[in-house]
Amino acid sequence: MTTVLLYALGVLFMAVGVGVSIALHEMGHLLAAKRFGVKCTQYMVGFGPTIWSRRKGETEYGVKAVPLGGYVRMLGMFPPRDGRQVRADSTGRWSGLIEQARQDSQIDIGPEDSDRLFYQRSVPQRLVIMLGGPFMNLAIAVLLLAVAIVGFGVQEETRTLSSVSACVIPADVAEEVAGQSDSQICASGKYAQAPAAKAGLRPGDEIVAFDGEAIDSWGQLRERIRAAGGRTVPVAVERDGRRLDLTVTPVHERRPQLDSEDNVVLRSDGSPALVDVGFLGVSPTSELVPQPITTVPGIVGDSLWRTAGVVLKIPEKMVGVAQAAFGDAERDRNGPVSVVGIGRFAGEVTTAEGDSALPIGWMDRFAVLLSLVASLNLALFVFNLVPLLPLDGGHAAGALWEGVRRQIARLLRRADPGPVDVARALPLAYGVASLLIGMSVLLIYADLVRPIRLGG
C-alpha cells in the first residue's frame, strides 16, 4: 500500500471519528431534551447549507455542508421578556438583536407546544440537557481509551535491546552532537568504547538476568545497571533462541537523575539534574502491553487534567501559535491544533514505519488512532464546560444562576424571580463566537505553514 494511500486512510479515519463524535455530542443533547419533554424541531450535524435531511416525527434529522459542529434546535431556548412576546426595541443595536433572538425563539411555538419549552424545564433537567453533549464526549473517550488500553495496550519499554551504543557520549556534549549518527560520533575516536559494545551485546538481545538476578522489566534492569558502576558483573541474554552468558563492566557516567516514577528531575533553570551512575550504553525496545481495566480511570483522570491545563491556557498558547505562524518561533507540542492538525497526526500515524529494531505494526497504529479520537473527545468535553455562551457551559451556568436566585428568593420569602434571561448574554456570545472563529482560522493556518509533527 503506497504512503499516500496510507496517509489518506489515516485522515479519513480521523474525519469519520470527528464526525461521529460531533453527531453523538448532539445526540446527547437530543436524547435528554426528548426525555424531559422539550420539543426538538431539528438535529443537524454541521453548519451551512443542508445536503441531506429526513423528518422523523416532529424532528428533522440532517447533515450540513460544513462539518465543524452541529446543533439541536429546541423550542423556547430564550424566555420572552416578562413571560410575553414583545417587539424588538429600537433604542440600541444590541437591544434589537436580543429582542429579535427572543422573538425567533418563539416563532415555531404553537398552542400545542405551550408546555414543551426549554426554559420551562427545572434547573436540574436543563443541566442534564445542556451537559448531555459534553458527557457523551466523555463517555466516548472513556470507551475508546478502555479499548486501546485494555484491548491493545500501552507502549512499555522491554528487556529487548533496540540499540547498542558504540561509544560513551558524555551528557554535557549531547547537545553538541545532536543530529549526528552514532557511527559518526564514535568515528572521531574522542570517546571510549561503550561497555555494552565491548561485551558483545547486540540489538535484538533480550536481557534475562543481570548481576546474578533475573530481570523482569526494563525499569528493573536500568536500576541494576545504574547501581553497578565500576563493577564487572555477569549478564545473561537470549539471542536467536539461545542463552548466552556474558560479562559487562558499566562505567561511571553523569546521567539525568530519575524520580520514583522514572521522570527526569529538573533543576530550577529547567535543565536536567545529573548524577554519577553506572552506564552500559543500551536502549530498550517498546511494545504494546495490555493493561488491566483498573488502570483506565487513572489514565482518563490524568488525560483530563492535562487537557484542562491546555484549555485554561489557550489565550497564552494562542500567542505562541501566532508567533510560530507569522514568525520563527517553534510550535508548542502540547499546544492546541485544528482539525487540519488532527488529520495530519492521523496521517503520520498510519505512515509511520519505525525501524528494524522497533517496527510499527497495524495494531500499534490502530491503538494510537483510537487514542487520538479519545483525546479529541476529552478536549470537546472540557472545552464545552467553559461557562460562556454559545458553549454548553454557558447555558448550564445560566441554569445554575437561576437556581441560586430562586433559592435566595425562597429564603428571603420573596416572589419567584422567574427564568434567567439568557438572551441578555447574546452580545458576549457573539464576541466569544467571533473569537472562536478567529482562533480556528489561525490554528488552521498554523497547521498548514508550521505544523506540529508527532515525530518531532
Q: Where are the alpha helices (DSSP H) in 193-263?
A: 195-199, 218-227
119: cell is: 426554559
C-alpha distances (whole Å) from 81 to each of 102, 125, 179, 332, 403 are 8, 22, 67, 47, 18
73: cell is: 434546535
Amino acid identity of residue 226, one-letter, is: R
335: Cα within 13 Å, side-chain hemisphere: 25
C-alpha distances (whole Å) from 155 to each of 80, 286, 321 are 56, 6, 30
Buried b / exposed e along 9-39 (16+ C-beta atoms within 10 A): bbbebbeebbeebbbbbbbbbbbbbbebebb
DSSP string, 288-310: EE---GGGHHHHHHHHHHHHHHH
**How many other C-beta atoms can be found within 10 angstroms of the C-beta atom of residue 78?**
21
- The helix/strand/coil state of 357 is coil
26 in catalytic set: yes
212: cell is: 546474578
Which residue's entry shows cell 492521523? 346
Residue of 26, 99, 253, 402 marked active site: 26
- The helix/strand/coil state of 152 is helix
C-alpha distances (whole Å) from 100 to each of 39, 52, 75, 77, 85 are 21, 28, 15, 13, 10
Residue 209 dihedral angles phi and psi, to the nearest 5°: -150, 145
Nearest CA-CA partner of 164 in 183, 142, 177: 183
124: cell is: 436540574
Catalytic residues: 26
